[in-house]
Amino acid sequence: MYVMQHGCKIPILCTRPLNHELLQVAEEKGFHIDVVPFIRTEAVPDMKGIIQNISSQLVTVIFTSMNAAEAVIKELNGFKPLWRIFCIGNTTRSILIHYFGVGAISGYADNASNLAYTIIETTAIQEVIFFCGDQRRDELPIILSEKHIKIQEVVVYKTILLNYKIVEEYKGILFFSPSAVSSFFSNNTIDKHTILFAIGETTAGSIRSYSNNTIVVSESAGKENLVNTMITYYESLENKNQFVEKEN
């Protein structure tokens, strides 16, 4: 159970860790963000042999999460295979560029569906290797399969739901994945006025299955973009002060 205190700022709950710089930016803008992760990821053990075997091949690979990128890079242990890489998410792309170099990134998109069409539009791709988690979404594999592109899925991490009970009331909640949405609502209810912020349409769709509250969707992936979307939303309101809880 989490009980958190804050000053005279708009209280926001973030369901995924944020770096200090983002938290500081929010504080300076008049927000207090409490960070309570609702999922935890763990690398799948004994993947070294599988990943090293793939690393010896000239293949097209897909990453749709930073967790998959970090798990694979750890097992590569400094070796840089000549892969053609496609990915989504600014954080994921940055991690991959840092390790493989910008030239290794053959395609990038905001979400899994758009990435699938980017791959389809790239000539001569008949087979891909999809590094993913155990709770990956279906959109990308379905679209590629419909276009007769063969997919080899390699599950490199698993997602563990953390069903915390939140007792504080928040004016807004930031969600970064359908898994976090499921974990949060399995043990929590929210006020009808709470604004829910989603990293993309897939996460927003998951929220809609639990709540009729207002949902604000970030136009692009990345933790920074969702935090900025939240800040912009509140700043656009005519009377921001109505959301500030003043101390008596």
pLDDT in tens, the chain (248 residues): 343 444 578 999 999 999 999 999 999 999 999 999 999 999 999 999 999 999 999 999 999 988 899 999 999 999 999 999 999 877 788 899 999 999 999 999 988 899 999 999 987 899 999 999 998 888 999 999 999 999 999 999 999 999 899 999 999 999 998 899 999 999 999 999 999 999 888 789 899 999 999 999 987 767 888 999 999 999 888 555 555 544 44
DSSP 8-state class, residue 15: S
pLDDT of residue 246: 46
The predicted pLDDT at position 7 comes to 53
> How many other CB atoms sit within 10 Å of the CB of residue 210?
16
Q: For position 48, what pLDDT does the model report? A: 93
Q: Which CATH number among 1.10.357.10, 3.20.20.105, 3.40.640.10, 3.40.50.10090 corresponds to the domain 10-38+163-243?
A: 3.40.50.10090
Tell me which residue has tokens 């989603």: 198
CATH 3.40.50.10090 domain locations along the chain: 10-38+163-243, 41-159
CATH no. for 41-159: 3.40.50.10090
Residues making up the chain, counted from first to last: 248
pLDDT for residue 177? 87
In this prediction, residue 81 carries a pLDDT of 97
Nearest alpha-carbon partner for 229 in 16, 29, 5: 29
The beta strand positions in 76-139, using DSSP E, are 84-88, 105-109, 127-133
The pair of three-digit structure tokens given for residue 163, joined into one six-digit string: 């069903």
Q: What is the per-residue pLDDT for 243?
A: 53
Give pLDDT, residue 219: 77
Dist. CA 220–CA 8, nearest whole Å: 30
| H or E element that contains 117 | helix 112-121
